[in-house]
Structure 1
Amino acid sequence: MDRRTFITKAGVAAGGAAAASVSLAAPALAQSNPKIRWRLTSSFPNTLDTIYGGAQVLSKAVSAMTDGQFTVDVFPAGELVPGLQALDAVQNGTVEAAHTVAYYYVGKDPTFAIPSSIPFGLNARQQNAWLYHGGGNELVNEFLGKYNIVAMPGGNTGTQMGGWFRKEVNSLADLNGLKMRIAGLAGRVMQPLGLVPQQLAGGDIYPALERGTIDATEWVGPYDDEKLGFYQVAKFYYYPAFWEAGPSVHFMFGKDKYEALPEAYKAVLDAAAKAANVNMLAQYDVNNMRAIRSLVGKGVQLRSLPRDVLDAAYGEAMKLYASLSAENAEWKKMYEPWNTFRSQSYEWFRVAEYTNDSYAYAQQAAGK
């Protein structure tokens, strides 16, 4: 056989071998990256583009990182299940995932509040620090394992506003008998002070406030609140929401479905959830600074919550946490390490963050 014939035949053979190796590899690749489609129900209406949009950020990122092999279809509150039943839909297998706030489910166990926010708790940075590197995620998922759920942080609103009131609140006495939509454990803190807490999903708040079924409401902050139109039926806008200094929104996945995923897809979900977490907070920081100016321009009256309200609420919060620690083992297991982290984080933030912010904000307010 001459050299030219040998090279030609060898080339054909090599090409055939390469083709064979590709055909053999393709099924293995498909097995390691299977086609998976999940459904995710949100606790939020799609009109609230920032908080609802967190799930869309995850969906787009998951699809892009897997070349469309792993997709997550997002459904707004009410389309598959009511917004406040998102966790239940994951737990019973109606959907594979949810985008929700853990404190919506304090009726099941007050411990659900800690992963999101509890009165006089952590700001957004401290919350992320606790969840990602302070042992929080591990404690949260140990607790949620009893509900067959795995969770990942999937957004944060930053410190929220204290809410919309039809009448001015000048002192603690003005809360007596006031019916207010208020989330998480805040209602249990405020109830001994005379407030009558109500639990309503986002889409149900405006009509209740308009009809006078409730006298006040809190939701998130200027951007979302303006979209929901609360300023049209209540003109006094109070701050801050001491019960939500940095509330986390979570992605919740069915534990069985999550554990069945290839490791690569688990890594994709983790990266996508972190992207959604960072993006939501940044969006709110931009949107709220514009919306607050817009609301004031529409005649909204900004007010700070009276000091006697804050002092009384702080005292009630600490009593509630001590009581829950004595009677609820699940709460105690998560709260005690959380509280240690809170104390140490506050100590550090007072050194640099607080002093820097306080001075700079005072100078800006003075027009310097």
Structure 2
Amino acid sequence: MDRRNFLKRSALAGTGLTALAAPAVAQGNITWRMVTTWPKNFPGLGVGAQRMADRITAASDGRLTIQVYSAGELVPPLQSLDAVIDGSAEMSHSAAYYWQNKSTALTFFTGVPYGMTTGELSAWVRQMGGQEIWDEVYDQFGVQGFLSGNTGVQAGGWFRNELTGLDDVQGLRFRTPGLGGQVWEKLGASVTNMAAGEIFQALQAGTLDAAEFVGPYNDLALGFHQVAKNYYFPSFVEPGLATELVVDKAKYQALPEDLQLLIRDVCQAEYDQVSADFVANDPRALQTLVNDHGVKVLQFPEEIVKAGADAAKEILTGLRDSGDDLTKRTAESFIEALKILRLRTEGTDAPFVEARRKYFEI
């Protein structure tokens, strides 16, 4: 997809605010506003948010209609959670680690360096107490969070220059958020976060030396290959990035029970749907980047990978041992679940994938 045409269609409004009427309630029907951090029609994430809204609207037969406002249409992209908290929207579609300034515990529900994969994160949240502690974290702000999608293991990022070791990381101006950003800071990078629609311009202007967002499916649309050609795989800080749907908790609990269950179940379905979207389209987009745009696919040097693991362990154990109460309990829950879940992933899934790679061609 051509970046210029994509961004033109996305109609980003930057920081513009749109005055809108309060949610409509007529003859028992309700209209809610969903704000997102994604550009309009953004592959995987933005499309997933719109599809979720459409599914809720259709499945409720219009009793609950969801109107989607893409990044900048109602509020700036990184203020979507605040819009739900202050009542200017009823829903936010985003990623929980964008709000680590409100609670570090929230970073565990998006992506943790060397942490959980797509299936592992789903198992923790749905089956091993993750949702309950997430509810406690968001109760502080009067909202409720649900998993709403997952990108799978992400790309490590786009770099102007190749990396030969840790020396090349020192002072590197790198867009990367969450606990992963803290890992790269420990490795010597100068880290910043910014919304999807702002990254290309920063790379082009030279205010960034490197950037990671998601992976080929999104990155092709954003046009990063026009500025940087060194594309590193895989990310060790984004092993299974989850998106979230956040709702105003009081308004959610005031809905009829069937509509509450509908929102929850559509979120669960979309977690799997978005994941399938990325599994199907990331390799296709990567082929386009390599074959049509001359992108060079690389792996991080072992020195960086090991140092990243050491930094991640230091950060996670620090949060478990010395964070605030909710962060400590979230870290403990995450770490204990990971110890169990990795037994299957590393003992069953990984050996199978390696055997298939070595011996099976068709």
Could you tell me the TM-score, scaled by structure 2's length?
A: 0.90
Match in the other structure for 1:334? 330
Of residues 170-179 and 186-195 in structure 1, the stretch that sits farther from structure 2 once superposed is 186-195
Mapping for residues 81-160 of structure 1, pairs under 5 Å: 81-160=75-154
Whole-angstrom CA distance in 1 between matches of 2:266 and 2:343: 32
Residue 327 of structure 1 deviates from its aligned partner by: 3.2
Which deviations, in whole Å up to 9, do the C-alpha atoms of 1:201-244 show, x marking residues without a partner? 00000000001000000000101101100001000000111111
Match in the other structure for 1:226? 220
Whole-angstrom CA distance in 2 between matches of 1:134 and 1:346: 14
- 1:223 aligned counterpart, secondary structure: helix
Match in the other structure for 2:67? 73
Of residues 212-221 and 346-355 in structure 1, the stretch that sits farther from structure 2 once superposed is 346-355
Match in the other structure for 1:303? 298
Whole-angstrom CA distance in 1 between matches of 2:345 and 2:41: 35
- 1:352 aligned counterpart, secondary structure: helix
Which deviations, in whole Å up to 9, do the C-alpha atoms of 1:264-322 show, x marking residues without a partner? 11011112112211111101111111011111112100110111111111111111122
Residue 192 of structure 1 deviates from its aligned partner by: 2.1
Structure 2 spans left out of the alignment, 5+ residues: 1-24
**Retained in 1: the 8 A contact 2:116–2:338?**
yes
Match in the other structure for 2:288? 294
Number of equivalenced pairs: 335
Whole-angstrom CA distance in 1 between matches of 2:88 and 2:95: 18
Residue 96 of structure 1 deviates from its aligned partner by: 0.3
Mapping for residues 120-269 of structure 1, pairs under 5 Å: 120-269=114-263
Q: Which amino acid aligns with 1:359?
A: A
**Retained in 2: the 8 A contact 1:57–1:275?**
no
Which deviations, in whole Å up to 9, do the C-alpha atoms of 1:47-100 show, x marking residues without a partner? 413111121122111112121111110110100011111111111111000000
Which deviations, in whole Å up to 9, do the C-alpha atoms of 1:233-257 show, x marking residues without a partner? 0000001111111111000001111
1:350 aligns with 2:350: no
Report runs of 4+ in structure 1 exceeding 6 Å deviation: none
- 2:319 aligned counterpart, secondary structure: helix
Mapping for residues 11-30 of structure 1, pairs under 5 Å: none
Structure (1 or 2) with the larger CA radius of gyration:
1
Q: Which amino acid aligns with 1:356?
A: F
Of residues 46-55 and 307-316 in structure 1, the stretch that sits farther from structure 2 once superposed is 46-55
2:267 to 266, 273, 296: 273
Q: Which amino acid aligns with 1:154?
A: S
- 1:114 aligned counterpart, secondary structure: helix
- 1:170 aligned counterpart, secondary structure: coil
Whole-angstrom CA distance in 2 between matches of 1:360 and 1:66: 44
Of residues 228-237 and 272-281 in structure 1, the stretch that sits farther from structure 2 once superposed is 272-281
Q: CA RMSD in A?
A: 1.4
* Percent identity of equivalent pairs: 33
Could you tell me the TM-score, scaled by structure 1's length?
A: 0.89
Structure 1 spans left out of the alignment, 5+ residues: 1-30
Q: Which amino acid aligns with 1:215?
A: D
Of residues 319-328 and 297-306 in structure 1, the stretch that sits farther from structure 2 once superposed is 319-328
**Retained in 1: the 8 A contact 2:103–2:137?**
no
Match in the other structure for 1:21? none
Structure with the larger helix share = 1
